[in-house]
Amino acid sequence: MKTIGISRQALVAALFGAAAVGTMAVAPKVFSPEAGAQPITVQAPHNAPLSFADLIEQVEPAVVSVNVTTEREVGRLRDMDQFFEQFRGMPGFDEFLEQRRQEQEDQQDEPEVQEGRSLGSGFFISQDGYIVTNNHVVDGAKEIQVVLKDGRELDAELVGTDKQTDLAVLRVTEKGEYPFVHFGSAETMRKGDWVVALGNPFGLGGTATAGILSADGREIGPDSPYTDFLQIDASINRGNSGGPTFDLDGNVIGVNTAIFSPTGGSVGIGFAIPAELADEITQAIIKDGKVSRGWLGVSIQDLTEDMAEAQGIKNAEGAIIADVTNGSPAEKGGLERGDIILSVNDKKVTDATSTTRVVGSLIANTSNKFEIIRGGKPKTLKVTVGERPEDPYARTVPASSSAPADKPEKGTTVKDVGATFEQMDDELRSRLGLRSGESGLVVTHVDKGGVMDKAGLAEGMVILEVNNKPAASVDDFRKAIADARKSDRTKVLIAIRVGQITNYRTIDLSDAS
Q: Which residues are catalytic?
A: 136, 166, 241
What is d(CA 478, CA 496) in angstroms, rounded to the nearest whole number? 17
| C-alpha count within 13 angstroms, C-beta hemisphere, residue 398 | 8
What is d(CA 297, CA 214) in angstroms, rounded to the nearest whole number? 36
Residue type, 409: E
- Phi first, then psi, for residue 331 (nearest 5°) are -65, -45
DSSP annotation of 151:
S
- Residue 263, judged by CB atoms within 10 A of its CB (0-12, 13-18, 19+), counts as exposed
241 appears as a binding residue in the annotation: yes
All residues at 6 or more sequence positions from 392 whose CB lies less than 8 Å from its CB, including other chains: 295, 297
Residue type, 323: D
46 appears as a binding residue in the annotation: no
Cα–Cα distance list, 310 to 223, 375, 480 (Å): 34, 11, 11
Burial 371-399 (b: 16+ CB within 10 A, else e): bbbbeeeeeebebebbebeeeeeeeeeee
270 appears as a binding residue in the annotation: no
Three-class DSSP category at 378? strand
What is d(CA 497, CA 465) in angstroms, rounded to the nearest whole number? 10
182 appears as a binding residue in the annotation: no
All residues at 6 or more sequence positions from 402 whose CB lies less than 8 Å from its CB, including other chains: 460, 461, 498, 499
166 appears as a binding residue in the annotation: yes
What is d(CA 194, CA 249) in angstroms, rounded to the nearest whole number? 10
Sign of CA dihedral 341, 342, 344, 345: negative
Asked whether the beta carbons of 128 and 169 are under 8 A apart, the reply is: no
| C-alpha count within 13 angstroms, C-beta hemisphere, residue 109 | 13
* Positions at the binding site: 136, 166, 239-241
Annotated binding site for substrate: 136, 166, 239-241
